[in-house]
């Protein structure tokens, strides 16, 4: 059985110098993955790692909204450098632009939601432009303010107006009705370990309503490890637990979900290469 983890960060500092082992385990278990960029430094590294490995190891390049507004834990901030990312995007094994989008969950000290919103919306639109110019998939990250869906509804509004040609909504956790709106735009939806411990029931409903050619798997490793590894460091080989849960929700076999999502991801990311 082969799996395609469409969203992992294998060179994250969480792995220290073990990241080659993480990649080796994925390769030996038939797990393909996209190594997702969040800033200039890791995007460049992702390109090098993809070059050093064979089929099944791909890269994306972009600026995570947390770095746009300085919302991550240590408050690091970066300006979006279009030409820099456009240069990386010319690499053959770069399959996507992002992760990019809107993250309204953490508001850094000295800013309010409106400041964060303005900065992130502007940079998100530049990613859309780059995704369309390069023909790569737009990897959308949305995290709403507590108890709302604000980041999702705003992303939908932007995408309706300046539609990107290929869209993947990563780590989908919003309501089934938001899921339907993204699907209506032609987007693909990625589910991760959250569906194995989601108590709201939203994820299961979204999983159930996706047409079979519109959803893919991801881990978001090293974060969001699925049950039975919950709370531990995640890695691409754990993607099979996400597939198991989807199989259970959709009344399918694990092999069917593995094959279907592998084909969906290959078609989405690798169709032109
Ligand atoms: Zn991520």
Each of the 273 residues of the chain gets a pLDDT tens digit; together they read 999 999 999 999 999 989 999 999 999 999 999 999 999 999 999 999 999 999 999 999 999 999 998 877 677 899 999 999 999 999 999 999 999 999 999 888 888 999 999 999 999 999 999 999 999 999 999 999 999 999 999 999 999 987 788 999 999 999 999 999 999 999 999 999 999 999 989 999 999 999 999 999 999 999 999 999 999 999 999 999 999 999 999 999 999 999 999 999 999 999 864
Residue 13 C-alpha to ligand 1 middle, in angstroms?
13
Residue 132 C-alpha to ligand 1 middle, in angstroms?
21
* pTM for the model: 0.96
Beta-carbon contacts of residue 185 (< 8 Å; ≥ 6 apart): 156, 159, 160, 163, 167
Residue 225 C-alpha to ligand 1 middle, in angstroms?
13
Residue 112 C-alpha to ligand 1 middle, in angstroms?
24
Q: Which candidate, 210, 201, 221, 162, places its Cα nearest to that of 182?
A: 210
Residue 99 C-alpha to ligand 1 middle, in angstroms?
7
| Ion ligand 1: protein residues whose beta carbon lies under 5 Å | 220
User: 220: helix, coil or strand?
Assistant: coil
Residue 215 C-alpha to ligand 1 middle, in angstroms?
17
């Amino acid at each position: 059985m082969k799996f395609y983890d469409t969203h992992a960060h294998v060179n994250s500092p969480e792995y220290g110098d073990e990241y080659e082992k993480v990649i080796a385990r994925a390769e030996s278990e038939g797990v393909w993955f996209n190594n997702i960029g969040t800033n200039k430094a890791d995007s460049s590294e992702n390109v090098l790692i993809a070059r050093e490995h064979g089929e099944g190891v791909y890269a994306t390049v972009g600026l995570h909204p947390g770095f746009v507004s300085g919302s991550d834990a240590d408050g690091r901030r970066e300006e979006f450098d279009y030409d820099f990312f456009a240069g990386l995007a010319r690499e053959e094994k770069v399959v996507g632009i992002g992760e990019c989008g809107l993250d309204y969950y953490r508001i850094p000290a000295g800013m309010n939601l409106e400041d964060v919103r303005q900065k992130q919306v502007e940079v998100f639109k530049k990613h859309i432009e780059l995704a369309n110019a390069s023909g790569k998939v737009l990897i959308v990250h949305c995290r709403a303010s507590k108890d709302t869906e604000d980041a999702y509804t705003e992303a939908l509004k932007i995408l309706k107006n300046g539609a990107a040609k290929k869209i993947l909504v990563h780590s989908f956790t919003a309501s089934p009705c938001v899921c339907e709106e993204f699907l209506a735009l032609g987007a693909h939806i990625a589910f991760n370990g959250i569906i194995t411990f989601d108590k709201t029931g939203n994820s299961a409903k979204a999983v159930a309503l996706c047409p079979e050619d519109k959803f893919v798997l991801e881990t978001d490793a090293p974060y969001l490890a699925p049950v039975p590894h919950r709370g531990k460091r995640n890695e691409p080989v754990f993607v099979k637990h996400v597939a198991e849960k989807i199989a259970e929700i959709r009344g399918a076999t694990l092999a069917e979900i593995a094959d279907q999502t592998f084909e969906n991801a290959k078609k989405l990311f690798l169709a032109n290469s």
